[in-house]
Structure 1
């Protein structure tokens, strides 16, 4: 089966270290692999409203949200490229995940079943020790587990000023094989369950 990558750039500025690292990794995908890049800051989603307990079905998304839903459903692999902001995902990445929780309740879409078996990946640049990215990694892993997806892990790189990550030779070496790795099915620790919202 051919793979189709949706690469979500979740930084507030273009051409940052996270984006550079994501593009380095994607540059090693096999020729002809479909890649769709979406810069979330340039295609802002509306504020998310949790309507789980409201009467009636959730309204179908329109505009940017509808396009992003269709792009997500069309992808075999979803990559969230988010800088490490206060030890976790950026606001843009979180907003995307919030809307995914709303898509679970769209009549006739069966979003959770559609995403099961596909792969979620993460890419992040940060300053300092890799251990500080634990909450970000956990959020993506648990998102994959809840959805029945595979989790390819998070490609970590170091850099604060623009372009710094290109000097992180270890990160660039890992980028060369990152998307070629086998992604296991994500599972919650001790088979615990969690709600996506």
Structure 2
């Protein structure tokens, strides 16, 4: 077993419904983490995150320090060593709650003295998704978004755990995904 001492995993659940296949697949993978790896789970759809407004070209281009749910999410993000984006495949890409969360990163990079982008460098980004059908190429845009996000932020991207399921609970029938979940977080 690998040493996960000091590792803090933030699982960002991007579904608009609780208990879906993506969440179940993420839970299967997380169950394999040793007890010395902290886990924090956030359901993005319940965060009441304000709509993101692009202010880069207004005034000095800086953003105010976030407050409320955005601050809570920022703090959880900065506290994590590993971020796991668990987003079902919605129209071949990330779900709206995940996209909104990542949009806020644009603002956080422009908060004076926060140093969000340099502080994110070196962290690890993972993805988990369930999709209808068995052609995993349908998730290429989702995986590409996460890979490019990690590259831009100078994070280590460790890939996307993919599973095929449509109805709730169906992910257990994807034996390959269940097997991959058991080793997904191993280096």
TM bin, normalised by shorter chain, reads over 0.9
Task: Give the TM-score normalised by the residue count of structure 1.
Answer: 0.90
The reply on whether 1:80 has 2:81 as its aligned counterpart is no
Distance in 2 (CA, whole Å) between partners of 1:40 and 1:137 is 19
**TM-superposition CA deviations, 1:125-162 (whole Å, max 9, x none):** 00121010000000000000000000010000010000
Distance in 1 (CA, whole Å) between partners of 2:63 and 2:94 is 26
The reply on whether 1:55 has 2:59 as its aligned counterpart is yes
The secondary structure found in structure 1 opposite 2:57 is: coil
Write the mapping of 1:159-174 to structure 2, written as runs, cut at 5 A: 159-174=165-180
**TM-superposition CA deviations, 1:80-110 (whole Å, max 9, x none):** 0000011000000100000011110011110
Task: Give the TM-score normalised by the residue count of structure 2.
Answer: 0.95
Distance in 1 (CA, whole Å) between partners of 2:49 and 2:110 is 17
The secondary structure found in structure 1 opposite 2:176 is: helix
Counterpart of 1:143? 149
The reply on whether 1:89 has 2:94 as its aligned counterpart is yes
Is 2:6–2:36's contact at 8 Å kept on the other side of the alignment? no
Counterpart of 2:48? 44
Distance in 1 (CA, whole Å) between partners of 2:63 and 2:93 is 29
**4+ residue runs over 4 A deviation:** none
Distance in 2 (CA, whole Å) between partners of 1:58 and 1:44 is 19
The secondary structure found in structure 2 opposite 1:51 is: coil
The reply on whether 1:152 has 2:158 as its aligned counterpart is yes
**What is the aligned length?**
181
Tell me how far 1:55 sits from its aligned partner. Answer: 1.0
Tell me how far 1:44 sits from its aligned partner. Answer: 2.2
Tell me how far 1:9 sits from its aligned partner. Answer: 0.4
Counterpart of 1:111? 116
The secondary structure found in structure 2 opposite 1:64 is: helix
The secondary structure found in structure 1 opposite 2:185 is: helix
The secondary structure found in structure 2 opposite 1:45 is: coil
The secondary structure found in structure 2 opposite 1:180 is: coil
Counterpart of 1:193? none
